[in-house]
């Protein structure tokens, strides 16, 4: 499998091509420094992202509370995660770092509040 | 009561400037904020990626704001919310700030020093003049961001985004996550105006096409947006006939630039720089009006909040020095943007106010590969900044030490993009 990607390790943004070889290792071309292949292989084998989003909050100044996954989650599970997070309803007050959803999708990763919101 | 420093705006620049002024000895500091809470635009920027330079970790906007707000509270700095600044005028050595809010009504607040931190606002559809009716469904990207992230209103299902500024890219991902279908991001220029990181993580991750050198030539729909016509543009950015394509959509987001919000600055008579649309500032962000400082997006539009905070620290230091009568008013150096450079901040330098070095912020006018930025005084290159690639979207930070500057009594520092000297 061959994939084109832009490196985001630094602002240069090298256009790289990654190709999986028969022995399961990867060939990376187009990079201009050695950090490129490392990023490219991680993106091929286990791409992860922190998912920042919001949940419904009651009795607060605003109707939405910003939250994020406390750790990066597998990229392929972002939409499944969104479906679950969108069901969450919390009550004010909430403090930054409070867990609003435990063990998201059984990944062992919590969803936490990213701001403090007082009762209103 | 006469304040030592009044800060116009409680966003990231205002919070960091207020904290620094207080730490450097200013006693009576007051922050004026027109919104219902401190934090400014960070409150709606719920995505991560803030604070890598300042805190060495990746925070979301609200987390970054909260750290600075907590510092303000710990330092005991008072602030007024829901308070609109109407005007600022010089009165002898004092500055009088005319403000209004629901609780106190109209007030004239006197202060020895003022720090301008009003930030910037988005260029709207009116400013770019796309033909068509005025249907609902056309939002600036930041407005959509506030609706979705703070107010809880989803503002569209089928979306086209014009402009590849960072807020537009961030909103492409955000709307996708919330179930909308983002058809394309159109960019007039042949390169994106957003950070590479955002193009990869917001567009490439979700297979959203970035259409470079394309623009919107017509907005269809009378009551609600029904679609847009896009077209390729030539080198002179004019639409090429015959390349039009209709994209059905119900929502159009605009991410077409930010403008420093300087009505108060201009009305006060502070010297402005047409290249930045901000005030002309010195190394400690002093403006042409003694005792008035400015920092953050009201001076020039930054791409990272970390740099806003750094600049705000300079302004806070400057205000504290001014109060102690230690701010040198000389202008030893002025800066000029030469070939390839759009603007340079600061525009003036008084060497006596510099501790170790001056960091000059500038933007290149186009994408440059394998070039350098040289700083000249006369015909002499005094410093060189090397990067593999210079992008208009990424502000150049060019640090020049005091030792180098001190070799010259005064002069004009000219920044030029050139071939690397072999």
Q: What is the pLDDT of residues B346-383, one digit of tens each?
A: 999 999 999 999 999 999 999 998 899 999 999 999 99
Provide the pLDDT for residue B389. 86
As a whole number of angstroms, the distance between CA B350 and CA B343 comes to 19
Provide the pLDDT for residue B422. 59
Chain A contact present for B420, CB below 8 A: no
By mean pLDDT, which of A34-38, B135-139, B333-337, B410-414 is the weakest?
A34-38
Q: Domain coordinates of chain B in residue numbers?
A: 1-122+257-327, 124-256, 329-422
DSSP B66-117: HHHHHHHHHTT--EESS-EEEEEEEETTEEEEEEEETTTEEEEEEEEEEEE-
Chain A contact present for B57, CB below 8 A: no
Chain A partners of B388 at a C-beta cutoff of 8 Å? 12, 32
* pLDDT, averaged across chain B: 95
B48/A56 CB distance under 8 A: no
As a whole number of angstroms, the distance between CA A3 and CA B173 comes to 21
Percent of chain B at pLDDT > 70 equals 100
**pLDDT (average), residues B113-132:** 90
CB-based contacts of B162, cutoff 8 Å, min separation 6: B130, B168, B185, B186, B215, B216, B252, B253, B254, B255, B256
| Structure token pair of residue B143 | 């407005």
Provide the pLDDT for residue B124. 87
A5/B204 CB distance under 8 A: yes
A115/B62 CB distance under 8 A: yes
Domains, chain A: 2-45 (no CATH), 52-113 (3.10.530.10)
Q: What architecture does CATH give domain B1-122+257-327?
A: 3-Layer(bba) Sandwich (3.50)
Minimum Cα–Cα distance from B47: chain A residue: A52
How far B48 CA lies from chain A's nearest CA (Å)? 7
Residue reference for tokens 């000249």:
B376
> Which of B47, B196, B205 shows the shortest C-beta gap to A52?
B47
Chain B contact present for A95, CB below 8 A: no
How far A69 CA lies from chain B's nearest CA (Å)? 10
Q: Note which residues in 135-194 of chain B have CB less than 8 A from chain A.
A: 148-152, 177-178
Please state, as a whole number, how many other Cβ atoms lie within 10 Å of the Cβ of residue B224.
12
Q: What architecture does CATH give domain B124-256?
A: 3-Layer(bba) Sandwich (3.50)
Provide the pLDDT for residue B83. 98
The ipTM value here is: 0.92
pLDDT bin (cut points 50, 70, 90) of residue A3 is: confident
**pLDDT (average), residues A69-90:** 97
Cα B392 to chain centroid, rounded: 14
pLDDT tens digits, one per residue of B181-223? 999 999 999 998 888 889 999 999 999 999 999 999 999 999 9
Chain B contact present for A56, CB below 8 A: yes
Minimum Cα–Cα distance from A67: chain B residue: B46
B152/A54 CB distance under 8 A: yes
Q: Is the pLDDT of residue A11 over 90?
A: no
Termini Cα distance of chain A: 54
Percent of chain B at pLDDT > 90 equals 90
Q: Is the pLDDT of residue B155 over 80?
A: yes
Chain B partners of A68 at a C-beta cutoff of 8 Å? 46, 48, 60
* pLDDT, averaged across chain A: 93
As a whole number of angstroms, the distance between CA A62 and CA B285 comes to 35
Q: Which of B132, B140, B136 is nearest to B220 (CA)?
A: B132
Burial of B153 (0-12, 13-18, 19+ CB in 10 A): exposed
Burial of A98 (0-12, 13-18, 19+ CB in 10 A): middle
B177/A66 CB distance under 8 A: no
**pLDDT (average), residues B74-82:** 98
**pLDDT (average), residues B386-405:** 92
Minimum Cα–Cα distance from B151: chain A residue: A63
Q: Which of A63, A49, A50, A53 is nearest to A113 (CA)?
A: A53
How far A15 CA lies from chain B's nearest CA (Å)? 11
A96/B204 CB distance under 8 A: no
- Give the angle subtended at the CA of B311 by the CAs of B393 and B263, to the nearest 5°: 80
Chain B contact present for A15, CB below 8 A: no
Helix, strand, coil share (%) of chain B residues, nearest 5: 25, 35, 40
**pLDDT (average), residues B297-321:** 96
* A24 compared with B364, residue with greater pLDDT: B364
Chain A contact present for B334, CB below 8 A: no
Minimum Cα–Cα distance from B388: chain A residue: A12
B151/A62 CB distance under 8 A: yes
B196/A52 CB distance under 8 A: no
How far A95 CA lies from chain B's nearest CA (Å)? 11
Same CATH fold assignment for domains B1-122+257-327 and B124-256: yes
As a whole number of angstroms, the distance between CA B167 and CA B49 comes to 13
CB-based contacts of A29, cutoff 8 Å, min separation 6: A16, A17, A19
Chain A partners of B205 at a C-beta cutoff of 8 Å? 49, 75
> Which of B149, B389, B394 shows the shortest C-beta gap to A66?
B149
A66/B391 CB distance under 8 A: no
Provide the pLDDT for residue B420. 85
**pLDDT (average), residues A91-97:** 97
By mean pLDDT, which of A32-46, B299-313, B392-406 is the weakest?
A32-46
Q: Where do runs of H (alpha helix) occur along chain A?
A: 35-45, 78-85
**pLDDT (average), residues B248-259:** 95
Q: Note which residues in 65-94 of chain A have CB less than 8 A from chain B.
A: 66, 68, 75, 78-79, 82
B196/A13 CB distance under 8 A: yes
pLDDT tens digits, one per residue of B215-231? 999 999 999 999 999 99
Provide the pLDDT for residue B176. 98
Chain B contact present for A63, CB below 8 A: yes
* Dihedral sign from CA coordinates of B50, A53, B169, B135: negative
């Amino acid at each position: 499998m061959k994939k084109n990607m832009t490196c985001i390790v630094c602002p240069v943004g090298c256009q790289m091509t990654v190709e999986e070889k028969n022995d399961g290792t990867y060939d990376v071309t187009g990079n201009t420094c050695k950090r490129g292949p490392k990023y490219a292989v991680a993106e091929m084998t286990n791409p992860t992202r922190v998912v920042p989003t919001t949940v419904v909050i009651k009795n607060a100044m605003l109707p939405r509370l910003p939250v994020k996954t406390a750790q990066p989650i597998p990229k392929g599970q972002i939409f499944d995660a969104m479906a679950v997070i969108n069901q969450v309803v919390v009550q004010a007050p909430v403090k930054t770092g409070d867990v609003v959803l435990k063990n998201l999708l059984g990944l062992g990763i919590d969803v936490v509040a990213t701001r403090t919101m007082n009762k209103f | 009561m006469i304040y030592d420093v009044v800060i116009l705006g409680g966003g990231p620049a205002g919070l960091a400037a207020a904290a620094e002024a207080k730490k450097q000895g200013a006693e009576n500091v007051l922050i004026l904020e027109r919104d219902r809470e401190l934090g400014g635009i960070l409150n709606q920027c719920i995505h991560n990626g803030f604070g890598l330079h300042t805190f060495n970790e990746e925070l979301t906007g609200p987390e970054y704001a909260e750290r600075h707000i907590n510092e303000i509270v710990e330092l005991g700095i008072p602030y007024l919310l829901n308070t609109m600044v109407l005007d600022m005028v010089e009165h002898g050595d004092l500055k009088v700030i005319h403000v209004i809010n629901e609780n106190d009504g109209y007030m004239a607040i006197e202060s020895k020093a003022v720090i301008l931190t009003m930030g910037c606002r988005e260029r709207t559809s009116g400013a770019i003049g796309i033909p068509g009716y005025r249907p609902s469904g056309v939002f600036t990207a930041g407005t959509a961001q506030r609706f979705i992230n703070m107010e809880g209103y989803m503002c569209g299902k089928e979306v086209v985004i014009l402009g590849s500024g960072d807020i537009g890219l961030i909103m492409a991902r955000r709307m996708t996550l919330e179930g909308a279908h983002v058809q394309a991001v159109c960019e007039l220029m042949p390169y994106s105006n957003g950070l590479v990181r955002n193009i990869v993580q917001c567009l490439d991750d979700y297979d959203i096409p970035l259409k470079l050198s394309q623009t919107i030539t017509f907005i269809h729909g009378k009551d609600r947006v029904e679609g847009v016509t896009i077209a390729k543009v030539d080198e002179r950015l004019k639409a090429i006939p015959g390349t039009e394509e209709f994209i059905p959509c119900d929502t159009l987001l605009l991410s077409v630039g930010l403008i420093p919000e300087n009505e108060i600055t201009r009305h006060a008579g502070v010297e402005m720089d047409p290249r930045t649309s901000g005030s002309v500032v010195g190394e400690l962000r002093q403006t042409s009006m003694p005792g008035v400082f400015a920092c953050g997006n009201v001076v020039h539009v930054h791409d990272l909040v970390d740099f806003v905070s750094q600049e705000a620290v300079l302004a806070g230091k400057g205000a504290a020095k001014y109060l102690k009568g230690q701010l040198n008013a000389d202008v030893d150096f002025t800066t000029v943007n030469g070939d390839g450079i759009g603007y340079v901040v600061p525009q003036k330098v008084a060497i006596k106010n510099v501790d170790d070095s001056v960091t000059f912020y500038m933007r290149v006018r186009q994408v440059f590969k394998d070039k350098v930025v040289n700083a000249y005084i006369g015909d002499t290159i005094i410093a060189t900044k090397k990067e593999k690639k210079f992008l208009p979207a990424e502000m150049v930070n060019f640090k020049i030490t005091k030792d180098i500057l001190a070799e010259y009594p005064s002069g004009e520092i000219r920044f030029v993009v050139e071939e690397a000297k072999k």
